[in-house]
Amino acid sequence: MVVTESGVEPDFDHGCALPPLAWEACPGKGIDYPDLYRKHYGSLPTDWRVGHVDRLWTGHASDPEVRRTGASGGATSAVLIHLLESGRIDGAVSVKQGIPEPDQASWFIARSASEILACAQSVYVPVSVLDVLPHLVAGERYAMTCVPEQSAALRALQHGGDERAQQVKFVLGPYTGTALDRRAIRSLMRANGVVEDDAVTSLKWRAGEWPGYLEIITESGKVIRSKKVYYNVLIPFFVTQTSLQSMDFANEFTDLSVGDAWSPKFEGLGQGFSVVASRTPVMTEVIEEMMKLGKLELERADVLEASAMHGHMIDFKKRGGYLRNRWREATFRKAPDIGLDPEPLDFPRIAVELVISSIFTVCRTPLARWVMEHIPEKILGPLFNKLRLVWKGASKPAKRKGLRDLEMRVRVPDWKLR
């Protein structure tokens, strides 16, 4: 696979000279999720919406600075700091904005609490975190934060005996919906009247009070601030192909998955709250230890409550991703196959996906992007948010129908049969 501006694209051929383990662990062609569930957890999930869960909570980091610095409740940063300070790891592999340039991002090995906090915040462009593996120091132990496809690839490498991958003792990661083509930033800048040679000196994806805003500062002193609910307008125009192909929203092969707690219960309180999902007894022990030490403020939650907060995106990935992949294959384009087929999948849900995919197809054309750039955000942002809410309401019956009882038909991925 290759990392491009539009995401991680499959670049493979069954006859290419890849080591067998690299082929098995390549998310571009798809990883055998049923096989990996059994190897890593010992069984298939009992709840297909969020995967294996040992314990669930909602809450936030206790330290106000950690909470404020994080994208939502600061839980991931707090756990990484605790793992480091308690001697369980020697370094934390995270994604850091500003490497090698202010408008770019790359992996970074943090070795102190301050360095971990410097990597806080979401990054909504593709970053190949597993590129860090050759740079790990022999004999050291690490925690790693990464997106779902990379978590699954890392687990495949670990179970295949890769020594560098086995140095990663804890895997953490965000719930992951959509990522943006790197060209989205320059498009937004053009829409705000920034000339092409005015370089970015600072970029923050979730600056300010939760849920935050995108902040871009340029060399000329231009400051662009766009509310998260407004710069989401970039998604249909610049969503990455990987986002559309992925069927894993809740980052199912991490030890700890963390997402925004999108619920009226928390949204009205301001600041940041997270859904915190521990997938292993070892990580549950770490979280409970932190709660006793006063480092995390969490309340127990159940899968139903946590799934309701993200039902729209769970459906977008589990069922929508499956349909989009099958349609790519039907038009002789490459798509990952993870060996899972969602059920039920009726005509209304398929019709909804036809509308969604048509919108993405149209919006990603050069003409549509040009039109978007020439409509002021004060008009386009509120209009898009209104249309988004109307669409969510109209499509909700089809998208939520059967989601609570979602099942997956397990089969051998097609690439294993070739």
Q: Please report whether residue 137 resides in a domain.
A: yes
Kindly report, residue by residue over 233-273, the tens digit of the pLDDT.
Answer: 999 999 999 999 999 999 999 999 999 988 777 767 767 89
CA dihedral 319, 337, 95, 268 (to 10 degrees): 10
Please tell me the predicted confidence (pLDDT) of residue 85. Answer: 98
Q: Is 0.85 surpassed by the pTM of this model? A: yes
Q: The dihedral of CA 97, 102, 107, 110: what is its sign?
A: negative
Residue 305, in any domain of the structure: yes
pLDDT range class, residue 412, cuts 50, 70, 90? very high
CATH of the domain at 40: 3.40.640
Write down the mean pLDDT value for the chain. 92
Assigned domain for 81 exists: yes
Q: Average the pLDDT over 46-51 and give the result.
A: 95
Residue pLDDT, tens place only, 305-361: 888 899 999 999 999 999 999 999 999 999 999 999 999 899 999 999 999 999 999
pLDDT band at 16 (very low <50, low <70, confident <90, very high): low
pLDDT per position as a tens digit, 160-214: 999 999 999 999 999 999 999 999 999 999 999 999 999 999 999 988 877 788 9
Q: What is the mean pLDDT of residues 8-27?
A: 70
Domain extent, residue 152, equals 2-180+242-309
Q: Are 227 and 215 in contact (CB under 8 A)?
A: no
Tens of pLDDT along 330-339?
999 999 999 9
Q: At residue 277, what are phi and psi to the nearest 5 degrees?
A: -115, 110
- With beta carbons less than 8 A apart as the criterion, state whether 76 and 70 touch: yes
Query: Is the pLDDT confidence value at 14 over 60?
Result: no
Residue 115 covered by a domain = yes
Residues 267-284, mean pLDDT to the nearest whole number: 89
Question: Is 383 inside any structural domain?
Answer: no
Answer yes or no: is 125 within a domain. Answer: yes
- Tokens describing residue 31: 């990883």
> Per the domain annotation, does 15 fall within a domain?
yes
Residue 91 DSSP SS3: strand
* Residue 226 φ then ψ, to 5°: -130, 120
Q: Of 270, 269, 290, nearest to 278 (Cα)? A: 290
Tally of structural domains, the chain: 1
Residue 63 belongs to some domain of the structure: yes
pLDDT at 30: 96
Cα torsion through 294, 261, 269, 223, rounded to 10: 100
Arithmetic mean of pLDDT, 375-396: 90
Q: Are 5 and 364 in contact (CB under 8 A)?
A: no
Give how far Cα 143 sits from Cα of 171, 252, 410, Å. Answer: 6, 16, 31
Residue 418 has pLDDT above 60, yes or no: yes
Which of 129-143, 223-237, 248-262 has the least mean pLDDT? Answer: 223-237
- What pLDDT is attached to residue 271? 76
pLDDT band at 80 (very low <50, low <70, confident <90, very high): very high
